[in-house]
A and B are shown apart, each in its own frame.
Chain A
Amino acid sequence: MVNQGYQFVMVAEQPGSHRLEFELAAKVTTAGPWQQIEFVATD
């Protein structure tokens, strides 16, 4: 996992299957009466 500013990219240099586990922290923003977080994840 590589941080490229506003993006995190995944780099695989070798063939194979992998399971990665990590923690993700998302910033809360105020949107009207709600607190929300939003991010876009890969499909």
Chain B
Amino acid sequence: MNFFLLRWAFVGLVLVTAWETRAQSLINLDFGGNTVTTRLGQAGTGLGTNDLWNVYSHYSPRYTPGMRPVPEGRLEALKYADGAASHVAVAVTNAPGVWSNASGDPMFDSFLFAPNGARLTVTVSGLEPGRYHFLLYGHADADVSPEHNSVFSLRTEGLTPLALGPMTSAGAAGWKAGAGREGGRQYVVFRDVAVGTNEWVRIDVDPGAGGVAVLNGLQIHSRGTAPPRTDQSVTPVVTDAVTNLLFREIQYDGAVGREGGRFQVSVEVESRSTNALIATVFESDIAVLAPK
């Protein structure tokens, strides 16, 4: 009878992969001098070309010379990259300065900065318990002052506190959007950071050799271990923005004999694009017979 035993590894693989996709979350933050950003899509990490970026500024609608410096602020209810609402909030202290780069990446081209030699601090609260990668962007191109590359430290507060860093980048002088990004150059990554229930994350941004602490952006990417979010929090997605085939359901009804396995497969799939979309469906030494 052993001959007919079948290892249904592929079924488990399909289920696990589907769960991880649903559970994975990403929050993007673009720090700068105005409350509007044109930033979309991936940076050091991302889920797709239409990833949403939250914009954080101490000045509304934008900084103009002569404004009273505002060193701190808070932004509630950040949105996930897919547009869904979250309970995550971010607070920044000691960052009254705003300035810009000219890389062509709207996130990288706007930043907050602290007074000379001082530290600015970012506090993130409301994250679902889980493990996250934190990608931090802290670069200012040289102009009248030298290039600045911030030094980041991260710690969590709660039942299982962590303290990570300091960490800095090797610099991104002359980098232009479209040239590709590299961890340790345009950004630094704190990987696999465990965040417990009701714990918050504090990120200290200190000046590097240039003498000024700057902050362009932050990405918080779940590693898929947080509880799946409910669909009710998902805001409507513009249909034209869906650029992947959506597999709603896949069913297998199979039998295995001495010569091989045969499965009746039923797939429900949706395309929302007027462009041709392609998705890999199966990989292995298999054959697909008689599509109906």
Residues of A within 8 A of B (CB): 1, 3, 6-28, 31, 33-43
Instruction: Determine the residue in chain B with the shortest Cβ distance to A20.
Output: B267
B261 CB-CB contact with A under 8 Å: yes
| Chain A hits for B266, CB < 8 A | 19-21
Please tell me if the beta carbons of A12 and B21 are within 8 angstroms of each other in the complex: no
Please tell me if the beta carbons of B250 and A42 are within 8 angstroms of each other in the complex: yes
Please tell me if the beta carbons of B278 and A10 are within 8 angstroms of each other in the complex: yes
| Chain B hits for A12, CB < 8 A | 245, 269, 271, 273, 276-278
Please tell me if the beta carbons of A26 and B260 are within 8 angstroms of each other in the complex: yes
Query: Can you list 28 pairs linking A and B with CB atoms under 8 Å apart?
Result: A3-B288, A6-B284, A8-B280, A10-B278, A10-B279, A10-B281, A14-B271, A15-B274, A19-B268, A24-B263, A24-B264, A24-B287, A25-B260, A25-B262, A25-B286, A25-B287, A26-B260, A26-B263, A26-B284, A27-B285, A27-B286, A31-B7, A34-B5, A36-B9, A38-B7, A40-B284, A42-B281, A43-B21
Q: Measured between C-beta atoms, what is the minimum distance from A17 to chain B in Å?
A: 4
Q: Measured between C-beta atoms, what is the minimum distance from B251 to chain A in Å?
A: 9
Please tell me if the beta carbons of B265 and A24 are within 8 angstroms of each other in the complex: yes
| Chain B hits for A10, CB < 8 A | 245, 267, 269, 278-281
B232 CB-CB contact with A under 8 Å: no
Please tell me if the beta carbons of A27 and B260 are within 8 angstroms of each other in the complex: yes
Q: How far is the CA of A38 from the CA of B18 in the complex (A)?
A: 18
Q: Measured between C-beta atoms, what is the minimum distance from B114 to chain A in Å?
A: 43
Please tell me if the beta carbons of B268 and A17 are within 8 angstroms of each other in the complex: yes
Which residue among B2, B13, B266, B288 has the maximum number of chain A CB atoms within 10 Å of its CB? B288
A-B contact count (CB 8 A): 172
Please tell me if the beta carbons of B21 and A41 are within 8 angstroms of each other in the complex: no
B290 CB-CB contact with A under 8 Å: yes
Residues of B within 8 A of A (CB): 2-7, 9-10, 13-14, 17-18, 21, 245, 247-248, 250, 252, 254, 256, 258-274, 276-292
Instruction: Determine the residue in chain B with the shortest Cβ distance to A30.
Output: B3
Please tell me if the beta carbons of A23 and B290 are within 8 angstroms of each other in the complex: yes
| Chain A hits for B2, CB < 8 A | 33-35
| Chain A hits for B4, CB < 8 A | 35
Please tell me if the beta carbons of B291 and A1 are within 8 angstroms of each other in the complex: yes
Q: How far is the CA of A12 from the CA of B14 in the complex (A)?
A: 21
| Chain B hits for A24, CB < 8 A | 252, 254, 261-265, 282, 286-289
Which residue of B10, B256, B259, B270 is within 8 Å of A41 (Cβ)? Answer: B10
Q: Measured between C-beta atoms, what is the minimum distance from A22 to chain B in Å?
A: 4
* Complex A-B, nearest 7 residue pairs according to Cβ-Cβ distance, in ascending order: A39-B284, A43-B17, A12-B271, A26-B261, A22-B291, A23-B289, A24-B263
Q: Measured between C-beta atoms, what is the minimum distance from A3 to chain B in Å?
A: 7
Q: When A13-B276, A39-B10 are in contact, do A23 and B281 touch as well, CB less than 8 Å?
A: no
